């Protein structure tokens, strides 16, 4: 994870180098940001239950590109690092031969169970705001789309007797993409992300608690919502 963050910081420095040569009669807004989110798994089987606080973090840079003289309408394109944790009741174990087993858990069988995903993403936004060159508090509405490549995936299971983690399991999709929305006033901005891609690859399923029951399909999307804060 530290290596991924270092790579991201280097790329962020490259993107932000253009910030420090702007002419005084022009201004750009909302270029460096971070978001804190609550993450939900949706469109899933009723057998899959979430528990605990499934949180996430996004940090990135957007190149603000105004289209009009007032500079309050345009687009943004940039780079973003995201990490998300999802607490739920499906254990994901990888064996020495490289095979993976998905197994539904009873609540009595574990203390904590999660999987975590991190992505390097390219976001794009259509941007509208009520800003001016001397107005630092304004309304904004940014509708966007982003696509990301998975940097890391791992699952962790904690029981009364053991705690074990598995890394880079192949059943997680390498790519994800979806819609974003950032809307608010001044410091407080509502953030939402809806993934159009699935978390897991096609035909991935989990074993039920009772072996005679039908396997549980691992078809699910992500829905995240929270707050976005703009630093520059």
By the 8 A CB rule, do 214 and 208 touch? Answer: yes
- Average pLDDT estimate for 210-231: 90
Confidence of residue 15 (pLDDT cuts 50, 70, 90): low
Which residue ranges make up each domain of the chain?
2-14+62-230
pTM: 0.86
Cα gap 164→127, rounded to integer Å:
44
- Average pLDDT estimate for 170-190: 96
Cα gap 102→6, rounded to integer Å:
33
Give the per-residue SS3 of 112-146: EEEEEEEEEEEEEEEEEECCECCECCCEEEEEEEE
H or E segment to which residue 33 belongs: strand 32-42
pLDDT tens for each residue of 98-113: 788 999 998 888 999 9
pLDDT over 70 percentage in the chain = 89
By the 8 A CB rule, do 115 and 70 touch? Answer: no
Q: Integer distance in angstroms from the first to the last C-alpha of the chain?
A: 26
- Average pLDDT estimate for 55-64: 96
At 178 the pLDDT is 98
- Name the residue with tokens 């829905």: 223
């Amino acid at each position: 994870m530290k290596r991924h963050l270092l790579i991201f910081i280097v790329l962020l420095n490259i993107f932000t180098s253009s910030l420090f040569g702007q002419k005084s009669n022009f201004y750009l807004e909302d270029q460096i940001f971070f978001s804190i989110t609550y993450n939900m798994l949706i469109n899933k089987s009723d057998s899959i239950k979430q528990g605990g606080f499934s949180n996430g973090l996004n940090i990135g840079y957007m190149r603000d590109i105004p289209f009009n003289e007032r500079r309050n309408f345009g687009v943004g394109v940039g780079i973003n690092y995201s990490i998300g944790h999802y607490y739920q009741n499906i254990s994901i174990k990888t064996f020495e031969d490289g095979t993976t087993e998905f197994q539904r858990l009873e609540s009595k069988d574990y203390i904590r169970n999660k999987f975590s995903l991190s992505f390097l993403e390219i976001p794009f936004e259509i941007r509208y705001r009520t800003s001016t060159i001397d107005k630092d508090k304004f309304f904004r509405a940014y509708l966007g789309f982003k696509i990301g490549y998975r940097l890391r995936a791992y699952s962790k299971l904690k029981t009364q007797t053991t705690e074990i983690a598995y890394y880079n399991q192949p059943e997680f999709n390498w790519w994800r993409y979806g819609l974003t929305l950032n809307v608010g006033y001044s410091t407080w901005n509502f953030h939402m992300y809806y993934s159009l891609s699935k978390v897991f690859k096609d035909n991935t399923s989990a074993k039920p608690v009772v072996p005679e029951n039908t396997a549980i399909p691992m078809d699910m999307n992500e829905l995240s919502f929270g707050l976005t804060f703009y630093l520059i």
